[in-house]
């Protein structure tokens, strides 16, 4: 997972490139570099570490060029060193390339290129590609890139420049997103819109198999066979301000606090209260097929998988459609049984997660109706799904997913009502739920007031290395999500479990002071959760509880209680997750962790 920015214009571009890759740093941040065409030559600057390290070494070498490419890397082949950082030059030093993705047949290509006299100075698959382009280059850069890409197996988003063509950048995509910002006498190619919006809000999204050739004054989209593709200019939906910190210490905290607004955006225009119906325009084309759905399979990874688990409860409860949830990475490799009437739903914030995308393709090949629940507009999953629903929760920059999760829950609730109303769910039931759903942004706002209380509790647990999160029913996936949030950003070990499973083994872990977070909201399984709490207390565990307002009993069973408003059970996950996100956040800050960029993690996992 890496970030690419390429600029062709009339302004000195090295600061533009640096600012651009900084906005993409969430995509990867183990090394960075840029190459600019200056005085007819390629000037290259690279550094291991974050972009700040690159800035430290930047000098006049690249200060005046107006065409250049830049990259922030997340290593796949070769350690995060300066020599493995992008851009990579061919062995003649006349062509430079930045690459996101993986060239799967790079080893065979490298051996062959070596036998043809090519020299390599890195361990990367990307350097193989630039040398292949160079080997095939006969004066026409576009032609050489096209020929090279036809030899390549794997995925790529690339941008290529050559000192022989000082005004031109050639870019191409397969399996790795790229878009072209179209400005006044300037064009910018980037892995996502965050690097572009400062300069222009007009953009063209490339599809797999497409290329673009940009100069300061023109762009041309073509296929690998050099056939011109007419693309529509689209408006980038979000402003730069939306992706800045807005006064918060971290993107994660900003995004947690944005949830009342992001949820409102997700719900806008999708509720017809009077009719007791959900309006999902993105499903209009497939509504007849959906009405025939016999079985639903949800595929996703990580936090999106957890929202899928809540979706399973919602769809079975409200729409009475048998639903399963699968890890996308498992689904894709096990030749799944897809019968007529099977609907597969891929859930993904980024819309680019490799496993989820591959699972979606697998489902389509088997004849399933494939839907996407995706945040990033124009992302690959969004484009490849037969139909779908966008989250519209705005860009999520913090690596830990927060506001996308609540928007996924909201869309799944709407979907369950949408399908349920065509089956067993009656008008009044649906209307009540929809009414409560419209009240959720305000309720989340109230729950966010717990932040200070949660920070104090977190302070008292900073030295705890092992945590349990337990819940039942709708709250079981929330226990998983609470544990995932904590471990990924604070590096404390945490496990989430269905509360009743504890006694089948994990109870052996409980010792004095071990923090155990129970989700004990009022509902069908409340009494049983109270019994589970007592089992933990009897062994000296420290009980923290998420419970419902006005529950006076719970206070005597827990060291700390985080209360949320009483709402219908299917909607409670939207509130329960807020204290869990805040707990993880405050623990991570207290432990001195890099909250927005946790170690070993990148925002979007576009490799297997």
Nearest approach, Cβ of residue 295 and ligand F6R (Å): 22
Nearest approach, Cβ of residue 129 and ligand F6R (Å): 26
Question: What SS3 class is residue 446?
Answer: helix
Residue 303 interacts with ligand F6R (CB under 6 A): yes or no:
yes
Residue 605 interacts with ligand F6R (CB under 6 A): yes or no:
yes
Catalytic site residue 150?
no
Which of these, 333, 334, 305, 208, lies nearest to 608 by C-alpha position? 333
Strands (E), 16-154: 31-38, 41-48, 67-73, 88-89, 95-100
Rounded Cα distance between 403 and 409, Å, is 10
Residue 401 interacts with ligand F6R (CB under 6 A): yes or no:
yes
Nearest approach, Cβ of residue 196 and ligand F6R (Å): 20
Residue 349 interacts with ligand F6R (CB under 6 A): yes or no:
yes
Nearest approach, Cβ of residue 473 and ligand F6R (Å): 22
Q: For 370-425, give the DSSP string.
A: EEEEESSTT-HHHHHSSEEEE-------SSS--HHHHHHHHHHHHHHHHHHTTTT-
Residue 301 interacts with ligand F6R (CB under 6 A): yes or no:
yes
Among residues 302, 311, 394, 515, the one that binds ligand F6R under rule CB under 6 A: 302
Residue 348 interacts with ligand F6R (CB under 6 A): yes or no:
yes
Question: Are the CB atoms for 118 and 91 separated by under 8 Å?
Answer: yes
Helix (H) or strand (E) holding 148: helix 141-151
Rounded Cα distance between 1 and 3, Å, is 7
Q: Give every CB contact of residue 418 below 8 A, 6+ residues apart in sequence.
A: 277, 278, 280, 283
Residue 525 interacts with ligand F6R (CB under 6 A): yes or no:
no
Residue 38 interacts with ligand F6R (CB under 6 A): yes or no:
no
Rounded Cα distance between 61 and 32, Å, is 16
Rounded Cα distance between 199 and 455, Å, is 39
Nearest approach, Cβ of residue 482 and ligand F6R (Å): 11
Q: Which is nearer to ligand F6R, 572 or 604 (CB)?
A: 604
Catalytic residue among 2, 13, 461, 593: 2
Structure letter (DSSP) for residue 317: I
Catalytic site residue 393?
no
Among residues 170, 243, 400, 447, the one that binds ligand F6R under rule CB under 6 A: 400
Residue 379 interacts with ligand F6R (CB under 6 A): yes or no:
no
Kindly give the pairing relationship between strand 202-205 and strand 95-100. Answer: unpaired
Q: Segment near ligand F6R (CB under 6 A), from 121-129, 302-310, 318-326, 505-513?
A: 302-310
Helix (H) or strand (E) holding 489: helix 476-490
Binding to ligand F6R in span 486-515, by CB under 6 A: 488
Q: Which is nearer to ligand F6R, 201 or 353 (CB)?
A: 353
Q: Which is nearer to ligand F6R, 66 or 356 (CB)?
A: 356
Q: Which is nearer to ligand F6R, 502 or 577 (CB)?
A: 577
Binding to ligand F6R in span 467-486, by CB under 6 A: 484
**Location of structure tokens 């509360």:** 499
Q: Which is nearer to ligand F6R, 87 or 302 (CB)?
A: 302
The residues that touch ligand F6R, with contacts defined as CB under 6 A, are 301-304, 348-350, 353, 356, 400-401, 484, 488, 604-605
Catalytic center residues? 2, 603
């Amino acid at each position: 997972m890496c970030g690419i920015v390429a600029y062709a214009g009339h302004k000195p571009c090295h600061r533009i490139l640096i600012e651009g890759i900084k906005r993409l740093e969430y995509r990867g941040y183990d090394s960075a570099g840029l190459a600019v065409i200056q005085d007819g030559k390629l000037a290259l600057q690279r550094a291991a570490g974050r972009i700040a390290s690159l800035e430290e070494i930047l000098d006049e070498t690249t200060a005046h060029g107006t065409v250049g490419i830049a990259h922030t890397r997340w290593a796949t082949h070769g350690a995060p060193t300066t020599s493995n950082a992008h851009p990579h030059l061919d062995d003649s030093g006349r062509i430079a390339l930045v690459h996101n993705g993986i060239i799967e047949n790079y080893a065979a290509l490298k051996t062959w290129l070596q036998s043809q006299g090519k020299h390599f100075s890195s361990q990367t698959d990307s350097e193989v590609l630039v040398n292949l382009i160079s080997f095939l280059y006969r004066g026409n850069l576009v032609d050489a890139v096209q020929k090279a890409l036809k030899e390549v197996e794997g995925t790529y988003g690339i941008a290529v420049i050559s000192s022989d063509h000082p005004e031109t950048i050639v870019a191409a995509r397969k399996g790795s997103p790229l878009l072209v910002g179209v400005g006044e006498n300037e064009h910018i190619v980037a892995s996502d819109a965050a690097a572009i919006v400062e300069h222009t809000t007009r953009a063209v999204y490339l599809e797999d198999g497409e290329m673009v050739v940009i100069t300061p004054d023109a762009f041309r989209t073509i296929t690998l066979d050099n056939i011109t593709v007419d693309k529509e200019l689209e408006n980038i939906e979000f402003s730069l301000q939306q992706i800045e910190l807005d006064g918060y210490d971290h993107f994660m905290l900003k995004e947690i606090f944005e949830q009342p607004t992001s949820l409102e955006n997700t719900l806008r225009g999708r509720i017809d209260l009077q009719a007791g119906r959900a309006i999902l325009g993105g499903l209009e084309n497939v509504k007849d097929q959906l009405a025939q759905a016999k079985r639903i399979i949800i595929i996703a990874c990580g936090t999106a998988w957890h929202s899928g688990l809540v979706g399973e409860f919602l769809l079975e409860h409200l729409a009475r459609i048998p639903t399963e949830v699968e890890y996308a990475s498992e689904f894709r490799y096990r030749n799944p049984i897809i019968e007529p009437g099977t609907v597969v739903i891929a859930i993904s914030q980024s819309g680019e997660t490799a496993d989820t995308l591959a699972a979606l393709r697998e489902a389509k090949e088997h004849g399933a109706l494939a839907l996407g629940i995706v945040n990033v507009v124009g992302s690959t999953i969004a484009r490849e799904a037969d139909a779908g629903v966008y989250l519209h929760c705005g860009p999520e920059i913090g690596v830990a997913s927060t506001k996308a999760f609540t928007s996924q829950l909201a869309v799944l609730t709407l979907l369950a009502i949408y399908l349920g109303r065509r089956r067993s769910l009656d008008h009044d039931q649906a209307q009540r739920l929809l009414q409560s759903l419209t009240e959720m942004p305000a309720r989340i706002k109230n729950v966010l007031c717990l932040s200070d209380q949660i920070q104090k509790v977190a302070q008292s647990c900073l030295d705890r290395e092992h945590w349990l999160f337990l819940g039942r029913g709708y709250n079981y996936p929330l226990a998983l999500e609470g544990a995932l949030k904590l471990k990924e950003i604070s590096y404390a070990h945490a496990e989430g479990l269905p509360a009743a499973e504890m006694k089948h083994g994990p109870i052996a872990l409980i010792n004095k002071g071990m923090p155990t977070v129970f989700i004990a909201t009022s509902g069908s399984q409340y009494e049983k959760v109270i019994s589970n709490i007592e089992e933990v207390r009897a062994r000296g565990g420290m009980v923290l509880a998420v419970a419902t307002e006005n529950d006076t009993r719970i206070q005597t069973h827990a060291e700390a209680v985080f209360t949320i408003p009483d709402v219908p059970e299917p909607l409670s996950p939207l509130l329960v997750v807020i204290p869990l996100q805040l707990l993880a956040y405050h623990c991570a800050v207290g432990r001195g962790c890099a909250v927005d960029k946790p170690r070993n993690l990148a925002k979007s996992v576009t490799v297997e």
